[in-house]
Amino acid sequence: MPRLSYLEAGKLALAEEMRRDPLVWAVGEDLGRGGVFGQYRGLAEEFGPARISDAPISESCIMGAAVGAAMMGTRPVVEMRFSDFALCAVDELVNQAAKARYMFGGQSHVPLVVREPIGIWRSSAAQHSQSLEAWYAHIPGLVVVVPSTPADNRALLKAAIRCDDPVVYMEHKNLWALEGEVPEAAEPGELGKARVVRAGGDVTIVSWSAAVHTCAAAAESLAGAGIEAEVLDLRTLWPWDREAVLASVERSGRLLVVQEAVSVAGFGAEIAASVAEALHGALKAPVRRLGAPRIPISYAPPLEDKVRVTEAMVVEAVRSMTAAAA
């Protein structure tokens, strides 16, 4: 299989879908020059300005125009540059796109993909570093996708573009350069299907996006001490693979949920509550969560590091859970 970066895999997926379907197009700021991270580089030359469309600096205008275009039968891919900036377009996404199918009795749908780069990325500070996936998972009508690997960034972006509901597609900025094997087959992925990153029977670790790699590294460290952790990458937060998580925790009896986002009211709480309600009698230890404290992300690297969930933190949490059960 060829090796591609996370960024290249996403660009490939968009190009493939645009070649396949003339109704797919992209709109956002700076797309003509390749996008702020280079994730659209070369696409304007192939598809022209009508399909790789540069927009003024107005997120609400961009989103509103794309919602209307989607309701008229096209499939827009909206680039918001940063998830933080997408907050300027929440009304158009949450009050219009997410509700259209329901409010029109199924007579209209909004096949829209909103790309929102998320996460802590080299001193980007409080207005460029947030992980706001839980906001969108809370909204009926929205699909939420959080790929962690190059292969998934290709497959899941293709699936998102083909989806008939609005999709919030959240790519972690710290993963752009991550390289990995990407299957040559150009098939879309399956929304709502978790991936087993590493099998194990002592504890289940559930995560998504960039935090998956932290959890995988921690699981390798724990294996050296005789603790076998199963790591699940959710891939999508709505729909989320409840059955896979419950099946894993039923085997292990322990659950640790790890997220980069602020822990308070994060999506990890939904997973923790669901498992506690369904399997309370089968748990060998209380469910644990790891996430950021409820503070803004700082510009200064030492302060930025204080809000990161690290491999050492995951290892310590698992050790405490297994020791308590023993």
Give the separation between CA 23 and CA 163, rounded to whole angstroms. 13
| pLDDT reading at 322 higher than 70 | yes
Question: Over the stretch 138-178, which tens digit does the pLDDT of each residue have?
Answer: 999 999 999 999 999 999 999 999 999 999 999 999 999 99
Is residue 18 assigned to a domain? yes
Annotated catalytic residue within 109, 128, 172, 213: 128
Is residue 228 assigned to a domain? yes
* pLDDT: which is higher, 233 or 36: 233
Among 158, 181, 204, residue at a domain's last position? 181
Do 268 and 142 have their domain in common?
A: no
Do 249 and 124 have their domain in common?
A: no
122 — pLDDT class (breaks 50, 70, 90): confident
Q: 64-72: list long-range contacts, CB under 8 Å, 24+ apart.
A: 64/89, 64/92, 64/96, 65/27, 66/27, 66/112, 67/92, 67/93, 67/96, 67/97, 67/100, 67/110, 67/112, 67/166, 70/97, 70/109, 70/110, 70/111, 70/112, 70/166, 71/100, 71/108, 71/109, 71/110
CATH assignment of the domain containing 116: 3.40.50.970
Do 151 and 220 have their domain in common?
A: no
204 — pLDDT class (breaks 50, 70, 90): very high
Do 222 and 176 have their domain in common?
A: no
| pLDDT reading at 231 higher than 80 | yes
Do 164 and 203 have their domain in common?
A: no
Do 173 and 241 have their domain in common?
A: no
Do 141 and 205 have their domain in common?
A: no
Q: Return the structure tokens found at 264.
A: 């308070």
| pLDDT, mean of residues 222-249 | 97
- Describe the strand order of the beta sheet including 52-54 as a list of residue ranges: 52-54, 24-28, 75-79, 113-115, 167-169, 143-145, 236-238
Residue among 177, 148, 154, 158 at smallest CA distance from 235: 148
Do 92 and 47 have their domain in common?
A: yes
Q: Please tell me whether the overall predicted TM-score, pTM, comes out greater than 0.85 for this model.
A: yes
Is residue 76 assigned to a domain? yes
| pLDDT, mean of residues 9-33 | 97
Q: Return the structure tokens found at 259.
A: 């997220």
Do 240 and 306 have their domain in common?
A: yes
Determine the residue type at 275.
V
Is residue 186 assigned to a domain? no
Is residue 190 assigned to a domain? no
CATH assignment of the domain containing 261: 3.40.50.920
* pLDDT: which is higher, 36 or 10: 10
Is residue 227 assigned to a domain? yes
Q: Is 147 left (phi over 0), alpha (psi -120 to 50) or beta?
A: beta
Is residue 10 assigned to a domain? yes
127 — pLDDT class (breaks 50, 70, 90): confident
Q: Return the structure tokens found at 141.
A: 């009508």
121 — pLDDT class (breaks 50, 70, 90): confident
Is residue 187 assigned to a domain? no
Residue among 57, 118, 126 at smallest CA distance from 88: 57
Decide if 213 is catalytic: no
Give the chain's domain count: 2
| pLDDT reading at 325 higher than 90 | no
| pLDDT, mean of residues 175-197 | 95
To 10 degrees, the CA torsion angle through 78, 84, 89, 90?
A: 110
Do 33 and 154 have their domain in common?
A: yes
Do 147 and 125 have their domain in common?
A: yes
Among 157, 181, 205, residue at a domain's last position? 181
Among 132, 151, 181, residue at a domain's last position? 181
Domain containing residue 71: 3-181
Task: Provide the sign of the torsion angle of the four alpha carbons 208, 39, 50, 56, taken in this order.
Answer: positive
Do 216 and 282 have their domain in common?
A: yes
**Cβ distance 70 to 111 under 8 Å?**
yes
| pLDDT reading at 263 higher than 90 | yes
